[in-house]
Every structure is written in C-alpha cells, then in structure tokens.
Chain A
Amino acid sequence: MKLSLEQVEHIAELAKLELTSEEKERYREQLSAILDHADTLQALDVEGIEPMAHAVMLVNVTRPDVSEESYLREDILANAPDVQEGQFRVRAILE
C-alpha cells in the first residue's frame, strides 16, 4: 500500500514538522516500504495476547509529598532561546 501525499502531509502536521516537497515525496516512498514490511505482522494470530508495553512490571513510584531542593531558575533558563522576566518567551499564540 502506498501512502498518499495527503496522508504524509497529515502525519507531518500531527508531528509538527515542516517538510519540503522533496522530503514529503521521499518519506512517502520510504514510509510505504517500511509499512509494507510491517504488514508481515498482520498474518500472526494475536488473539488473546496481552500487549507488552514494557519489559519490566511497572508500578507507580511515589515519594512523600514534601518539597525538595530543585534546580535554580537561572540554570534552567540559561538554555532557553528567548527569556523575559525570568520566563520562557514565545511568539504570539493568539493573533
């Protein structure tokens, strides 16, 4: 099955990736080939099999609700592309 250009554009939008038209065409080909390969799984009978999300038994890990030392705000903001008044600054969300 070959993905359509619209499907590729829809996935890119879900993933918030701006792609060039060459990239869209290339991924259309390559993703289609990879998904064809993945179709070998469709032949297996998985009736009644519990999906395995993790390799170990996961349990909720909690700690007492007591405040602890954390990182300094300046240290965290030091990596931010844009900062104003001790906060992350972004472009307009509503126009």
Chain B
Amino acid sequence: MDAAPTIYEASEMLRQGALTSSELTESLLAQADRADSRVKAYLRLTPDLALAQAEQADARFADWRSKGGDAPPRLMGIPLAVKDVLCTRGVPTTCGSRILENFVPPYDAAAVENLAAQGAVMLGKTNLDEFAMGSSTENSAYFATHNPWDLGRVPGGSSGGSAAAVAAGMALGALGTDTGGSVRQPASLCGVVGLKPTYGRVSRWGLIAFASSLDQIGPLAKDVRDCAILLQALAGHDSRDSTSVQVPVPDYSAGLTGDIRGLRIGVPVEYFIEGIQPGVERAVRDALSTLEDLGAQVEEISLPHTKYALPVYYLIAPAEASANLARYDGVKYGFSAPDAQNVWDMIRKTRGQGFGAEVKRRIMLGTYALSAGYYGAYYLRAQKVRALIKRDFDRVFETVDVLACPTSPTVAFRLGERIEDPLQMYLSDIFTLACSLAGICGISVPCGFSDGLPVGLQIMGNVFDEPAILRVAHAYEQATDCHLQRPNLNQEV
C-alpha cells in the first residue's frame, strides 16, 4: 500500500473487501517503525492490542459480507491514535508526566469507548505537553515530538503527538484535547485538520482533567470528511459527565456538499494584528478570497475584547488546573517520593519532583490567582472579562454564520526557540483562546504554506454549529489541494 488512505477511503476498501483491517493496521505499524524514531509522535505503541482489534474487525466484515444487513460503522477496523491524557483500560496513561509514569487506568475514557464501540483499532498513545499544558509538545517529561514537515521544528501542542502521527501517516486519525487551542494549533502547524467541538458536546469522562470549564476532546485527521466521521462517533450525551449536554447529534457528514453560496462569513479584524507572520497572513487572505469565489459573503466584523483572551485564559486555566492537580499526592496512584519524614513532607516532595517546570508554573500561578487577597483582582475579574468575550461572539453570530481567521500567528517554530520564555510560548495560542473561553466550536484546515511549512485557516462557529464549520472547511478543501500535500520524512536534520 502506498501513502495511507483517508478514513473514508479505507472504510470503503474494507467494506468492498479490497483491504483487511489487519493489513491496514500492519502497514501503519510498519510506517511507525520506519518514521517514529525521527518524529517521536508516540509515547507507546500497542501493536498486540491493535492487531487483535483488527482481527475482530475483519471477522465482523466477513460476517457482514456473508449475511448482509447494515454496513458496519465507518470506524470499523480503522487504526487511530489516542492522546495520552485519555484513560485506556490496561494501557499506561501518563499525561506526559513523571507523576503518572506507572499509572494503568482501570477503565476507558468515554471517547475511547465510543471509538471502540464502532470497532476502531487503537495503535497507541501519543505524546503531549505534560497534562496538556503547552503549545509545542516540548513540555513532555519523556521527549519532544518533531514536526514531520521539518524535523527541527515543533509540531505545536499540546496534542502534538496526535497531529504529527496523522501528518506522518502513522495513524489515519487521532484524538486530541483542546483547552485553549491544543487540537487546532498543532493541526495548523502539522498541516492536518483538527476540530474543537462545542463545550459539552463530547463527554470528558475519563479525560484526565486540566481546566474543567474549557477542556474538550476533538478529532485530528487528514481531511474534513474524516473529522466529521470521528466527531460523529464522539458526540453525544453521557450521564457520567455532568457538563455533557442533552442536545441532539446531527449527521455531520450530511452537510458536506461543497455549497456555501450565500453563507455569511465574518472576518474578525482583531485577528490580523502585528506579530502575525506575513506568509501566514497571505495564505489566510488567499483562503478568504477562495471562500468568496465559492459564493460566500465575506465581511469584516469586530470582536473588541479579543486582546484580553490571553490574560483571561492564563488566569482561569491555571486556577482550575491548580485545583484539578491537587489530587496528585503520592497516595492513590502514580509517583510517590520515597525519602520523606511524614505525610506532608511526602506530598510536597512528590509534587515538587513529579511535576515538570510548566505544570509547576501554572499551579503556582493558579494558586496565586485564587489565594486570599488576590481572588477578586485576578480570578473573579478574569471570569467577568470572559463573559465580555462571550458577548462579543453572541453579538457577531446575530449577523454572520461563521468566523474565519488564522489558527496561529506563525508557522511551526524551532525546537527550543520559546521554551525558556513562557509568555512567548503562550502567544502561539492567541487566536484559539477566545473560542475556548466562549465554549463555541472551531476547526483548523490546511490553507497553504509559508516557507514550506503548513498554515492553518480557523473557522469558528456558534455553539453546536459544528455542521456549519465542517461545511465551510470542506467546501474550502474541495476548492484547493493543500490537504493533499504530504511531508517528506526522508529529510536531512
């Protein structure tokens, strides 16, 4: 088999009997064998599990072909990767942290269950910034992941392993998580499609929590149709997550008609600021022209509180993280410092030694923002400004259907370039944070290259309007060939 097919193509071949899931799984594991020593997308491959799941899928296809009836689900026999912040029963789940180095969950996350329910194959667990805190995957306690388009550069983050695995043909699709851009930004930097669903659309049960009012699980794939197929499997109510909503799930593939005539697309002027790379701006402006050529009405709009998203996010997310990460105390699971006098000494040492630099920085920041005397000035004020950011979106969605802008101000940056300067690192998320704070949905779709590196176009939609952003992203994709480009993995480093 040549280059890895899309999920849709592979599913068609599996149904026709032109390919078995075992063959497909073996070819992806072989690609991981060839390429992952350089890309380092996977923290752990699970070949035995994958091949057993593939065999089961092949049996289901054989059964269907002999007996007839409804075709097996779209993800039956499809090999996927899972970000290592989602619990997988019997398979170590580390969050990219030393503190969970030997943690083996006794259950699967709801998102993982949903993929398994369709008969998907799990190839392995992908690398991430520790506890999903970061924008480059360099904060992993284990190793950094490299961008398949230029191995000297970062894949973005925090779902950098998932994005790189898809870009390098080592998985047909992957699960990521997005708290402030962690699916969309790495999708942009790796030239794949990544979708952050509306808050509450996908169950967070079994997702190891970072910032509970923002965390959302989302798919990464090579094209928009595949993203729609994955979202279809993930979306829905789950009584185990009290923030999961009882909103009917539409057919996400049905609206992918390529027709966006008359659709109103708002372009927020605040997303074309100083600091955006000229090559990124050029690619995104060209994409907006393409959307206009397709018959959409493109108009400038304003989201006046955009510049406050960064400080609001970096108070709220760390505050929630400082509470969520209080559970790592060396008692119930994970690393426990061996050389302690009493229980408090043990807890301080466990946390001091078990967490990495960025996680400790955010716990400190969040603890400060929540502490007596600073709560009102920082945390409470940030929540009020969050409401203003949400109002901006509510207002513009009265006049436009979706918003279009860059996903990230830059293409992939060099490994090591920003790791010593947290504020510089945080700036790579400036275009994805507001969408997360407002709880709306967003997708990043490849829209060209700057200096040979992928650029992403971000389409944001109102709450539960995933059909609109998928439709626009798909129409754009059909009109261009950016999403068909593949990196050359035989490059000199």
Contact = CB atoms under 8 A, between A and B. Distances in A.
Interface of A: 7-8, 11-12, 14-19, 23, 27, 30-31, 33-35, 37-38, 40-42, 44, 46, 49-56, 58, 60-61, 63, 71-72, 75-76, 78-82, 88, 90-93, 95
Contacts of A34: 314, 365, 422-423, 426
B360 interface: yes
5 contacts: A15-B322, A41-B312, A79-B103, A79-B104, A91-B345
A49 B387 contact: yes
Interface residues of B, number: 72
B328 to A, nearest CB: 10
Q: Chain A contact residues: over half helix, strand or loop, or mixed?
A: loop
Interface in B322-345: 322, 326, 329-336, 340-345
Contact of A80 (B331, B346, B347, B382): B331
A51 B380 contact: yes
A80 B336 CA distance: 9
A93 B363 CA distance: 24
A93 B367 CA distance: 24
A38 B341 contact: no
Interface of B: 102-104, 106-107, 199-200, 213-214, 239, 242-243, 245, 307-308, 310-312, 314-315, 322, 326, 329-336, 340-349, 351-353, 355, 357, 360-361, 363-365, 367-368, 371, 377-378, 380-388, 390, 422-423, 426, 437-439, 463
A88 B348 CA distance: 18
Contacts of B322: 15
A45 to B, nearest CB: 10
A58 B384 contact: no
A49 B390 CA distance: 12
Given A55-B439, A58-B242, A79-B104, A44 B385 contact: yes
Contacts of A16: 326, 329, 344, 347-348, 351
